[in-house]
A and B are shown apart, each in its own frame.
Chain A
Amino acid sequence: DGGITQSPKYLFRKEGQNVTLSCEQNLNHDAMYWYRQDPGQGLRLIYYSQIVNDFQKGDIAEGYSVSREKKESFPLTVTSAQKNPTAFYLCASMRGSADTQYFGPGTRLTVL
Chain B
Amino acid sequence: GQSLEQPSEVTAVEGAIVQINCTYQTSGFYGLSWYQQHDGGAPTFLSYNALDGLEETGRFSSFLSRSDSYGYLLLQELQMKDSASYFCAVRSSRDDKIIFGKGTRLHILP
List A residues at the B interface (Cβ < 8 Å). Answer: 31, 33, 35, 41-45, 48, 50, 56, 58-59, 90, 99-106
User: By the criterion CB–CB under 8 Å, are A42 and B103 in contact?
Assistant: yes
Which chain B residue lies CB-closest to A43?
B100
Interface size on B, residues (CB 8 A): 23
Return chain A residues, CB-CB under 8 Å to B35: 101
* Complex CA–CA separation, A90 to B44 (angstroms): 12
Please, which residues of chain B bring their CB within 8 A of the CB of A101? 33, 35, 43, 45, 89, 98
A70 CB, min distance to chain B CBs, angstroms: 20
Q: Could you tell me if A90 and B97 are in contact, using CB atoms closer than 8 angstroms?
A: no
Indicate whether B101 reaches chain A with its CB closer than 8 angstroms.
yes
Q: B87 within 8 Å of A by Cβ? A: yes
| Contact in complex: B103, A105 (CB < 8 Å) | no
Contact A50 B42, beta carbon cutoff 8 Å = no
Kindly provide the distance from the CB of B8 to the nearest chain A CB, expressed in whole angstroms.
Answer: 9
B99 interfacial by beta-carbon distance below 8 Å: yes
Q: Are the C-beta atoms of B96 and A48 separated by less than 8 Å?
A: yes
Contact with A along B82-108 (1 / 0, CB 8 A): 000001010100011111111100000
- A100 adjacent to B43 (CB under 8 Å): no
Q: Nearest Cβ distance between residue A32 and chain B, in whole angstroms?
A: 11
Task: List chain B residues, Cβ under 8 A from A104.
Answer: 42
